[in-house]
Amino acid sequence: MKILAMIQGEYGRRNVANIRANGPSSWSLETWTAPKALPPVIDEPEEFVPAALPQSELLVCFQEDGRAAQLIPELARRAGARAVIAAIDREEWLPRGLANQLARWFQERQIPAAFPKPLCSLTEVSYGLRDHAFPYRSEIIAEFARYFGRPCFEISHDGASGSIRSVKVVRDSVCGCARSVAVQLAGIRVQDAVETAGLAHHHHPCMASMGVDPDFNDTLMHVSGAVMKDAVRDALGLPVDYVTPDGNVERTT
């Protein structure tokens, strides 16, 4: 699969580095660095996007401000992208009004597009969480999400000692947080695994927003941490917590 990633700073560089290090060897990944100095409203996006870009099946956008997000359609057009992932780890990097406009633009052109909020909510069939989860149909996006998106583990543990023997990362976070968490789970007691995963997530550190998001009535960093802890609960066969849009926590049985 040929991937083009739009980056602007450390957030994008970290994500790209993890994809390159741990993605399939058959993938090719090119990057384009968006300008940091852009006007608030971009009427002519072709003025800011190179005429020649690597032709790519998937465009993955790690922009770090809403102005750069306005370039996504032109970037997709010039790269010949057949699917798009635009991360929302901070709403100011892709405001909901603009995200809705982009979704309509791609839908009108029959180009599958996913807007995962947070980025670690992406799976092979959907993006987002609970009441803000949306299905998609794209083999290209699903291929990416087999390896990167919502964390997924396989955990084995010793029944006698109650300690974790091994942790396999089935699907990593795009930023590499799941791999970092997995290293810190090996050898600890099962009863401490969920709390350890939450602490390890924050120490990575997560780059999602620390501002309260209106969709969750919570910070996206905290929501992301809950996603990580739920992945560990699921791998251990424990009840899974879900954060609802009103900020409450629901638990499955």
For range 211-216, the mean pLDDT: 91
* Res 244 pLDDT > 70: no
Higher pLDDT, 145 or 206: 145
Question: Do residues 165 and 141 both lie within one domain?
Answer: no
Question: Do residues 171 and 247 both lie within one domain?
Answer: yes
Domain that holds residue 166: 152-251
Q: What pLDDT is recorded for position 37?
A: 84
Question: Do residues 136 and 194 both lie within one domain?
Answer: no
Question: Do residues 66 and 122 both lie within one domain?
Answer: yes
Domain of 45, CATH number, reads: 3.40.50.720
* Res 253 pLDDT > 60: no
Pairwise CA distance, residues 126 & 191, whole Å: 30
Pairwise CA distance, residues 176 & 96, whole Å: 26
Please, which pLDDT band fits residue 247 given cuts at 50, 70 and 90? very low
Question: Do residues 16 and 84 both lie within one domain?
Answer: yes
Ranking 26-35, 158-167, 216-225 by mean pLDDT, the lowest is 158-167
Question: Do residues 71 and 158 both lie within one domain?
Answer: no
What 177-184 contacts at long range (C-beta under 8 Å, 24+ apart), as own/partner pairs, is 177/120, 177/151, 177/201, 177/204, 177/206, 177/224, 177/228, 178/151, 178/152, 178/153, 178/228, 178/231, 179/18, 179/22, 180/204, 181/151, 181/228, 181/232, 182/153
Question: Do residues 139 and 212 both lie within one domain?
Answer: no
Pairwise CA distance, residues 160 & 178, whole Å: 27
Cβ(161)–Cβ(148) below 8 Å: no
Please, which pLDDT band fits residue 1 given cuts at 50, 70 and 90? very high
Total of domains in the chain: 2
Question: Do residues 99 and 197 both lie within one domain?
Answer: no
| Residue at a domain's end among 145, 178, 213 | 145
Residues 6+ positions from 215 with CB-CB distance below 8 Å: 117, 132, 245
Please, which pLDDT band fits residue 160 given cuts at 50, 70 and 90? low
Helix (H) or strand (E) holding 32: strand 28-33
Question: Do residues 28 and 115 both lie within one domain?
Answer: yes
Question: Do residues 94 and 163 both lie within one domain?
Answer: no
Please, which pLDDT band fits residue 245 given cuts at 50, 70 and 90? very low
Q: Output phi, psi for 77, to 5 deg.
A: -65, -45
For range 81-96, the mean pLDDT: 96
